Structure 1
Amino acid sequence: METTPGAQETKEQKYIRILTEINTLVASALKVLAIQPGTARAEGKPKQFKNNFFILFLALRSASEGHTELYLKQAQKLGEKWTNFLAQNKNLISKMDPTLNALEINQKIVENTLELMRLDEPKAFTDIAKIQSESEKIRNAAWATLNPLLEEAANKMRECGIVPEKDFEFFVDPKDLS
């Protein structure tokens, strides 16, 4: 179902395109996290370690503008302590990369799923239910993997003289935000 250049994409074509994108993203994230499609992993919903602390490590992966830049600026104000932390913990930070990648992929899955919902196709309900199940599996497995690494990073920061609770305003427990 290809559209000719300049032709308007039909609702059906858009549905198929979005669903294909989602399925590709799901397969990619499952592969990154070494999860077999259709299997369960990370029973229950793991608690996210210290709210948005993970975004600091997302920001290290890309020099993108926006909210992640604020996290890096806050870290860079720590000067030599931050530089030492990065130098001493390259291996730990690189261990986070695949899981952070899976979380970014999962965010794209969520965005595409919302786009699929906006098409208001009755047949989408079954597909969306499957996608949401896979997305939850990805999210749970990612947090189960990432949380101990984030906790270790916080401890390594303390060893370098960084006090995450004091030096990073985003280093809070989600329950403390309510």
Structure 2
Amino acid sequence: MNKKYPIGQFVCPQEVQEADIQMWVKKIRTLPHRLKRLTESLSEAELSKTYRENSWNVFQLIHHIVDSHLNGYIRMKVALTEKNPIVKTYEESEWAKLKDYQLPIKISLQLLESLHERWAYLLENLTTTQLQRTYQYPDGDKMRLDQSIALYAWHGNHHLAHIEQALQ
């Protein structure tokens, strides 16, 4: 098993079907509950476990998922309200050093639950035209919203697999 990419690397789909969107939105909607079930009774020692040498621990992964998905939600909303906007990137490893990464995971899990409820509702109600809207990274790479939904569904499952690996 590849410890860095336990579910494989993200492959950006070029063609997206309605059934794909529904499956990815379901993954986004259910991620907070799956994470909570997996982590709610963990000890400090278990939260400190890593999935590979020099990786983030379970504690950091949970906080990172929230940061990443907050950014994803905002990127999508900006794309829905502006024409092909250039979205902001962020330094994940620097964010992980900030004081809020010391809060109990319960705080991030609560935020993730609320965020994903709003996000899934928004995604379930996008039109075909809206799903084709794009945003652009500073390096020039473009992403359609339907592709971005795939990315964030993958991202949540990717880190969930890291946590499962760390706990084995």
TM-score (structure 2 length as normaliser): 0.33
Q: Which has the higher contact order (CA 8 A, sep 6+)?
A: 2
TM-score (structure 1 length as normaliser): 0.32
Question: Quick check: which one's helix share is greater?
Answer: 1
Larger of the two Rg values belongs to structure: 1
